[in-house]
Amino acid sequence: MKVRSKVVVSAISIALSVVLLAVAVMVGMFYNSSQSVDLNPRIMELSENSIDSQGAFEEFEGVSREKKDSLYTYRAQKKFVKESFLPYDKISDSNLTEDEIESVDYEVVIDETSGDIAVNAIFANNGEQIVDTLHGNVFYDEDNETDVIFNVDGELYSAREILGQSSIEECSFWGNLLHSIANAALKLLAIVEPAIKLTLASASDVAALLLVVGQEKYLANYNANSKQIQPSGYVTNQKSYGAWDFGCSDLAYAGCEVIAGYNLAKAKGININLAQTTYLYESLGIELGFAAGYLGSNPYQISYFLKAMNINYIKVTSYSTLQSYIKNSTQYHMIVSRWNYTSASSMIHTFYVNKMGFNSMQTYNMKPNQKSTPAYSASELFNESPKKTFIVAYLIKK
Q: What is the mean pLDDT of residues 371-383?
A: 84
Residue-level pLDDT at 48: 34
**Measuring CA to CA, how many Å separate 102 from each of 24, 74, 105, 121, 190?**
52, 20, 10, 12, 12
pLDDT-derived band at 31 (thresholds 50, 70, 90) equals: very low
Task: Name the residue with higher pLDDT: 78 or 25.
Answer: 78
User: Distance between CA 253 and CA 110 in Å, rounded?
Assistant: 22
pLDDT at residue number 186: 42
Which amino acid is it at 109?
V
What mean pLDDT, rounded, does the chain reach? 74
CB 256 within 8 A of CB 296: yes
* Ordered alpha helix ranges (H), the chain: 6-30, 40-57, 86-89, 159-163, 172-178, 192-213, 215-226, 251-254, 256-267, 274-283, 302-308, 319-327, 386-389
Q: How far apart are CA 345 and CA 206, in angstroms?
A: 23
Residue 55 banded pLDDT, cuts 50, 70, 90: low
> pLDDT digits over 82-135, tens only?
655 555 444 444 444 455 567 889 999 988 777 789 999 888 888 888 777 888
Distance of alpha carbon 254 from alpha carbon 293, whole angstroms: 7
Which residues is 107 bridged to in the sheet? 75, 120
Among 30-39, 59-68, 271-280, the range of highest mean pLDDT: 271-280
β-bridge pairing 314-316 and 373-375? unpaired
- pTM of the model as a whole: 0.60
Calpha distance 191→129 (Å, rounded): 11
pLDDT, tens only, 274-328: 999 998 888 776 755 444 444 567 788 899 899 989 999 999 999 999 999 999 9
- Pick the more confident residue, 117 or 183: 117
Per residue in 286-300, is it b (16+ CB within 10 Å) or e — as a string? bbbbbbbbbbbbbbb
Say how many CA atoms lie within 13 Å of 206 toward its Cβ. Answer: 34
More confidently predicted of 39 and 222: 222
339: β partners:
348
Side-chain-side CA neighbours of residue 192 (13 Å): 28
Provide the 8-state DSSP code for 227.
Answer: T
Structural domains of the chain sorted by starting position, each given as residue range(s) with its CATH number in brackets = 49-211 (no CATH), 216-397 (3.90.70.10)
